[in-house]
Amino acid sequence: MKKKVEINPGDEITLQLGYKYKDVIRLQTVFTGYVKKISATPVMDIECENKAYLLKNISLQDAISKEVSDKYTLKELLSVCMKESTIKDADIHLAPNFPEFAFRDH
């Protein structure tokens, strides 16, 4: 009997390719990311996205208060967002040479 698997947008997914020969199973992970969208047409289509999916789905209002957002530089704002519970364990980091960009200057 096959096990029923439920897949939902936002679920973490790992895609592995490989083979089984006798009792030896060789698998290599080729993608890790998140389910973005599922289409239920005659052929099931599961659209996935890398860790950027997490960044696209956080609310800045949850990360900072609206009245102080104009005082942040882009680097500071992204650093605050990286501490959000949805992405803090995702191992996403800003590049050390990420430029400072003040919103109030533009």
CA distances from 37 to 10, 40, 57, 61, 98 (A): 9, 10, 13, 24, 31
Q: Residue 17 falls within a domain, yes or no?
A: yes
User: What are the pLDDT digits (tens) for 48-63?
Assistant: 998 888 777 666 665 5
Residue 99 or residue 24, greater confidence:
24
pLDDT at position 106 over 50: no
Do 63 and 99 belong together in one domain?
yes
- Higher-pLDDT residue of 77 and 103 is 77
103 pLDDT higher than 50: yes
Answer yes or no: is 28 within a domain. Answer: yes
* pLDDT bucket at 79, cuts 50 / 70 / 90: confident
Rounded CA separation 55/94 (Å): 12
Q: Is residue 96 part of a domain?
A: yes
Rounded mean pLDDT of 10-27?
Answer: 92
| Number of domains the chain contains | 2
45 and 63, same structural domain? no
Looking at residue 63, its pLDDT comes to: 58
Same domain, 63 and 90: yes
Do 46 and 69 have their domain in common? Answer: no
Show the domain range for 81: 58-105
The more confident residue out of 71 and 75 is 75
Q: By the 8 A CB rule, do 101 and 73 touch?
A: yes
